[in-house]
Structure 1
């Protein structure tokens, strides 16, 4: 009985449960910074902002964009869309854009997981709320490949179907 009651008390909202149970350091909390260097002109430095970003603070999102050939400056909030990306952005916006789509999706996701949690309260052992809640919506890659091939859609990067 106490196990069933304990299972109902989990309401942290986390989709996956990844934690460091060992006695050693958590390698994800140690972030390397860029080496210090003197600027070309001290007059061009931004004024110090308490609690603000440092010039040598890591920005993994911008580093990923740069590694993929993009412009890391585009990751700055309020940044302008470059001319080279204008066509892509216009194509993505061709059916309109919902201004609060992230907030709306977060509310819908919380509702899906809340409904799923009420049904599956006796799930004992380690689990993944995201996988459990959305398992019915997963696509079967092989079945989708067969469906596309039957309609004549060329799928050159897909492996050959196994019969």
Structure 2
């Protein structure tokens, strides 16, 4: 009887050791949310490889522009600009020149109290901190993305909202069946 109890404890300790070992095999660090569909896969992303235009030797090396950090590479493909040029248009018209005129009133109203600098970086840092706090006391045996779990209380149910609008007598678009 004593040997059977000791064997049971030994099996329990072995199972706990295996569980702890497997839990330690997970990836460290935070994944980028923009890569969520691909973050669960291992290996390279085959669509991330982009061909370049052929290199050209200039007439004079003095004609080369000075390098500008963050500027577009001269050998990168520009399919939209190439299509506009092929159809006889001006490719320079595609470059961003600020806010379009029809959107000026909207942008000025939205930024009437000022626009903080580095807003996207700050929001990304706050999001990463929130998800880290969310996952502090959670245990996961299989590695997965915690984004949906972290924000599930803040997510809206589109079908419930649709039904609420319909019950209120408001016109709603058609929705696919559940």
* TM-score when normalising by structure 2: 0.56
Does the CA-based 8 Å contact 1:142-1:161 persist in structure 2? no
In angstroms, what is the RMSD of aligned CA positions? 3.9
Following superposition, the deviation at residue 48 of structure 1 comes to 4.5
Aligned to 2:159: 142
**Alpha-carbon separation, structure 2, partners of 1:120 and 1:11:** 15
Query: CA offsets, 1:5-36, max 9 Å, x none?
Result: 344xx432104324444xxx742332033578
- Tell me which of 38, 50, 72 is aligned to 1:53: 72
Aligned to 2:95: 73
Following superposition, the deviation at residue 141 of structure 1 comes to 0.7
1:77-156 equivalence runs, <5 A: 79-93=97-111, 97-121=115-139, 123-156=140-173
Query: CA offsets, 1:67-113, max 9 Å, x none?
Result: xxxx7422xxxx42232331342354467644443233223211221
Does the CA-based 8 Å contact 1:146-1:161 persist in structure 2? no
Aligned to 1:4: 23
**Alpha-carbon separation, structure 2, partners of 1:101 and 1:53:** 23
Greater share of helix residues, 1 or 2? 2
Say which SS state the counterpart of residue 118 (structure 1) adopts: coil
Residues 33/151 of structure 1: CA separation in 2 closer, same or farther (3 Å cut): farther
Q: What runs of 5+ residues in structure 1 fail to find an aligned partner?
A: none
Which one scores higher on RCO, CA 8 angstroms, separation ≥ 6?
1
Say which SS state the counterpart of residue 32 (structure 1) adopts: coil
Count of aligned pairs? 140
- Tell me which of 148, 159, 162 is aligned to 2:175: 159
Following superposition, the deviation at residue 125 of structure 1 comes to 2.0
Which structure's CA Rg is the greater one? 2
